[in-house]
Structure 1
């Protein structure tokens, strides 16, 4: 197949693109390589994707452009006929959305609109896109289920991703565009983002600096290894969303529809306390952390716990990498990449 992956030089987009290339698919990567974090890391990912395409049957084409640029997006769809679109590009980060909300409007609202419009006119067979566990917001019922209400986000980032889900449903309903939204739960692993906890903690422990531990380490997170995530994304993309023939408008299931629309949690189904996560990093590094215990930050969700049974039933997704193994793989990559 020929697959468009937006955010291909990003953390999850890189792993998804690499898996697609390794199985023989042609990948068109679309990324603006912005400076939200060190662009050198994005360049290194893109370079590795180009190397991967020379060693396998899948070809990699890279487009350096902004999704908010409608002309660039339309030209991409004019130049290529896609069998699948996997939309992973977004402005990420919970706390940054408090500081710079307009960047989320550009990337997550305007960019998403340009992609879904292009899919509509190209009659793309299936659009799979990234949502987030942050949409559960003020909900405290565990584990989080796709059937729960998600109408009370507690930060702007989550509000923009919830908007994407609603926009997708409108296009699925109006234009019969098959769409699948995936709510990611705390993804971690090699080639991760420098603004994420695992990256910051590893760096500071190596440099013998203190690490900020919010909510005094009492957070729990459904940490999900990036290779497991990439496998779930690809399986979801392969299987085209279909209308739910049992959908009842009197008692609607918010995760499906009588349109070709669906939403899945994609997590590890095994929440871990933040302090235990830090202990896994200490074990992998062979060094103790200096903890700076801090209160809960505005916009932070204290706990996440994914019910991923619907995704497992639909596409056979079942994560297999433990936190200890996943953290060790990240630490090994970090030491090799940064030569420390």
Structure 2
């Protein structure tokens, strides 16, 4: 390779490390392009480099720019690692607030120290990662003005003019609900739904997609064959119109979804044969029953919980305003079924 030749690398393959957070969903990362190696299997930064970054760059930057915070920063990376490691061997981090008016000076000073400390740290840059923004905007999809306002709200902190729209993907969703009911999808209409979303894709190609277990997955509900959503990777489907992913599901699954294993976790059969776990399962079943009882609206003072049939597609940024604004009413009538909330739960 000639010196100075341009290398194009997906961002997620460039070594980086989380540096800080803004509120709950916004993570500030620092990327080190000179640490990238095509032969490397990972994108992490080595422990030696992390220690160097903290001991010789990050902590000195904070002491210099915000001297009043000196007493809050561990004296070394090794000390910080010991302090934030719990008895289970995992890391539980604390946080130190940085005044907003010091951020620019902190960033400039840190980048300078990084470049001076090690040549491989030169050309480092910051990336703002926003995650967990699902349902960030809710609007009437058939109203063009509402779609535009929702788009502007979603990208309030992003200069869209400086983005390559074809390189960005956005999930667009449509929810179908009936008050007092749980609405779910019919398996018999999956092909018709996909054909509507991808009108230029030949029917035989969609049929092959639905038979491909690697790219198409059924999500059944209530162990009833006709009630099922699906997940489909459509990026390689000819005529997909730029849609790379489609998901149809019922939001009732949110009732049992847990970020960490809890009452609704998957159980092992052997747990029924062990007295200590068998008793725990019985108690958990009581808790689950109470949850479903409340969702059905049978608990006094509790309104109950409906469920919507939700359809999501992933498209490039340049197509987001013209995608999934609505579905034909006759297609909706064939594709979903509304079940009384009390009967469902």
Pairwise TM-score range, normalised by the shorter structure: under 0.3
Superposition TM-score, scaled by structure 1 size: 0.25
* TM-score, normalised relative to structure 2: 0.24
